[in-house]
Structure 1
Amino acid sequence: MPEPRFDPLSDGPPVPGPPAAGASVTLDPGAAGTDPAAGLPAGDGPGGPGGRGGGRSGRRRQRGAHRRAGGRGEARSLWSDAWHDLRRNPVFLVSAVLILFLVTVSLWPGLLTDRDPLSCDLGRSLGGPVPGHWFGFDAQGCDVYARTVYGARASIAVAVCATLGTALLGGTLGGLAGFFGGWTDGLLSRLTDVFFGIPIVLGGLVFLAMIKTAGVWPVVLVIVLLGWPQVARIARGSVVSVKEADYVQAARALGAGSGRVLLRHVLPNAVAPVIVVATIALGTYVALEATLSFLGIGLQPPTVSWGVAISNASDGMQFRNAPHILLYPAAALSVTVLAFIMLGDAVRDALDPKLR
């Protein structure tokens, strides 16, 4: 072992000389200020607390953050989480396939039948199923299968247009009332109380009797006028809860105006309950159109819809002699309502954090 060298101009500790030939050098892993991996200062190596890996605890934190971010390096939003849950929900998948099929049939009914639903033959009145006419004939001799297929167009059109109208009108009024408050909120609350006191079926009978115009748009207008208060109340409550959030207050403190706060911060986070209510209302409006048509005040012939078909088959004598004239349109109506309600339930479960 060579003797230590002393530098006369240095005040530090003696520096050991180079090791002798054949001598082994052992680094002390516990020595302070050294890293056993590469002789670096402690904490600067790949395993040190100040290094990139951050030691075992740092690696655990990185893996946990990666899992919380969904394994993609970024946090998922409410909508991506909802879509992640919906894709694995069998109720959503079944209802989505049914609704896609029904919408396709309503847009292109010629894909399923080449028969004219308005072409009737009284000689085949109340006739049973025959080749080429799988559902038989109604009291007017019209093909029940063709009328069932074409009936999806009017029923689904009424439901979709009425749902969009109620969502836009109710969501806009309720959102503005909840955001600004004051006399606007009070006026909307009293107005919704008045409309909630009117049964929607009774109100539809009165308004449609006053209009005396058959067609899709009068029925849609009546449903929108009587259905918007429910959506408005849901939208108001959602906006009231969101506008008190910390990120909204921070945006206001940074100088954001009311319009920017409403459109950029409040609306995207308050629209989920409105979407849930509107999705469930789709099935309700399909049944409501059929109810109004069954009572003779909704859609009228020659319009083809399931409600009109059920109304035409309401004669007890005809039903006993030919039950198929009622069973097929009623079954199509039931499946459609069930599909929309199942879709609404699946969307509600995915967008409601309390149900997770």
Structure 2
Amino acid sequence: MTDQQQAALRHDEVGAGTTTGLASPSVDVTESRQNSLWSDAWRELKRNPLFWIGTVLGVLFVLMSLFPQFFARGADPRACSLSNSNQTPSAEHWFGFDQQGCDYLAQVVHGARNSLIIGLLAVLVILVLGVVVGAVSGFFGGVIDSVLSRVTDIFYALPLILGALVVLRSGTLGRGVVAVAIALAAFGWMTAMRLVRSQVIAVKSSDYVAAARAMGASNSRILVRHILPNAVAPVLVYTTITIGVLIAAEATLTYLGVGLQRPSISWGLQIDAGQNLLRTAPHLVLFPSLVLTLTVMAFVMMGDALRDALDPRQRA
């Protein structure tokens, strides 16, 4: 048995959890490197205050979307009375009332659910498209890589907001939560594809990949088991930052009138409704804008902290 075959055999045994009664004297190089990377990254993250600020804010807004009644102090966002129209914040009603006399705290709190669902759903679609297309393109190369790269370049030529605006305005997908998420994902997967493709190209010529191939491993096994795990770090950083970007993009599309429509509750709809009353009732724009900004900032800070922690060049 050659050295490459022995290395591949040890790699498969460790990954499959093979036990022989005694600990293997050889440690898989790739697994050790990945474990070291994540352990070093966690030590860096624990010392980064921006990571904890972003995490606390992110968890807060996720809980807000899951349990809105608790954060809205039990108020019903659809229980409105015109007698309370545009009333300013008070000790009893912290965010005041909107133009229809609805409790504005309840409106803003319930708006978190749609925004986070759209952001998370769009990122999930982006990951599936980006990872699959990038992995196939980088692994097989040649004509396949050329064709997929050119398709990616075509989508790169279309800005995210403009592309999603055109799709949503056409009415093909509708104007619901899923439609907005798909429209954003359709024009936001290209960076994930490029990240995965570059990582696959860099890793596929490694010795342990050659050893696995010598042992007769199939292309799919090599790609999933030996190559893709090395693309996790940059894609994770991109995903975290992109959630915030997509939440802001959804609010922008809704503000422009091509995103969510009433009776849906959304920060973009609230900002759009309050812009004409900015002088007389500035709280109608201030509060949803503030919460939107904090939500986007939370995910961007977490992504920046992850990037710094996972990049060895950022550590002294």
TM-score range normalised by the length of the shorter chain: 0.7 to 0.9
Q: How does 1:115-194 map to 2 (within 5 A)?
A: 115-194=75-154
- For 2:69 and 2:279, locate their aligned partners in 1 and report how far apart those are by CA, in whole Å: 31
* Aligned residues of 2:122 and 2:181 also touching (Cα < 8 A): yes
* Aligned residues of 1:276 and 1:344 also touching (Cα < 8 A): yes
**Secondary structure at 1:227 match in 2:** coil
For CA contacts below 8 A with separation 6 or more, give which structure has more relative contact order: 2
- For 2:47 and 2:148, locate their aligned partners in 1 and report how far apart those are by CA, in whole Å: 40
- Corresponding position: 1:301 with 2:262: yes
- For 1:135 and 1:302, locate their aligned partners in 2 and report how far apart those are by CA, in whole Å: 20
- For 1:349 and 1:250, locate their aligned partners in 2 and report how far apart those are by CA, in whole Å: 32
How far 1:306 sits from its partner (Å)?
0.8
**Secondary structure at 2:249 match in 1:** helix
How far 1:254 sits from its partner (Å)?
3.1
- For 1:299 and 1:80, locate their aligned partners in 2 and report how far apart those are by CA, in whole Å: 42
How far 1:143 sits from its partner (Å)?
1.2
| 1:101 equivalent in structure 2 | 60
| 2:157 equivalent in structure 1 | 197
- Corresponding position: 1:78 with 2:37: yes
Counterpart amino acid of 1:79? W
- Corresponding position: 1:277 with 2:272: no
Aligned Cα root-mean-square deviation (Å): 1.6
How far 1:246 sits from its partner (Å)?
2.2
How far 1:249 sits from its partner (Å)?
2.0
* Aligned residues of 1:283 and 1:338 also touching (Cα < 8 A): yes
Deviation by residue 1:149-168 (Cα, 9 ceiling, x = unmatched): 11111111111111111011
Q: How does 1:47-62 map to 2 (within 5 A)?
A: none
- For 1:174 and 1:91, locate their aligned partners in 2 and report how far apart those are by CA, in whole Å: 31
Counterpart amino acid of 1:293? T
TM-score (norm 1): 0.76
| 2:9 equivalent in structure 1 | none
From 192, 204, 208, the equivalent of 1:231 is 192
Counterpart amino acid of 2:188? G
- For 1:276 and 1:94, locate their aligned partners in 2 and report how far apart those are by CA, in whole Å: 17
Deviation by residue 1:146-205 (Cα, 9 ceiling, x = unmatched): 111111111111111111110111111111110111221111111011111111111111
**Secondary structure at 2:88 match in 1:** coil
Which of the pair has more CA radius of gyration? 1
How far 1:96 sits from its partner (Å)?
0.7
From 337, 347, 354, the equivalent of 2:296 is 337
Q: Any unmatched runs of 5+ in structure 2? A: 1-31
- Corresponding position: 1:254 with 2:215: yes
Q: Any unmatched runs of 5+ in structure 1? A: 1-73
Deviation by residue 1:59-115 (Cα, 9 ceiling, x = unmatched): xxxxxxxxxxxxxxx884322222222122211111111111110110111111211
**Secondary structure at 1:321 match in 2:** coil
* Aligned residues of 1:167 and 1:231 also touching (Cα < 8 A): yes
How far 1:250 sits from its partner (Å)?
2.4
- For 1:155 and 1:308, locate their aligned partners in 2 and report how far apart those are by CA, in whole Å: 11
- For 1:230 and 1:268, locate their aligned partners in 2 and report how far apart those are by CA, in whole Å: 18
* Aligned residues of 1:242 and 1:270 also touching (Cα < 8 A): no
Q: Which has the higher helix share?
A: 2
- Corresponding position: 1:242 with 2:194: no
| 2:10 equivalent in structure 1 | none
Counterpart amino acid of 1:244? S
Counterpart amino acid of 2:179? P
**Secondary structure at 2:86 match in 1:** coil
**Secondary structure at 1:142 match in 2:** coil
- For 2:103 and 2:282, locate their aligned partners in 1 and report how far apart those are by CA, in whole Å: 14
- For 1:239 and 1:354, locate their aligned partners in 2 and report how far apart those are by CA, in whole Å: 21
Counterpart amino acid of 2:100? Q
TM-score (norm 2): 0.85
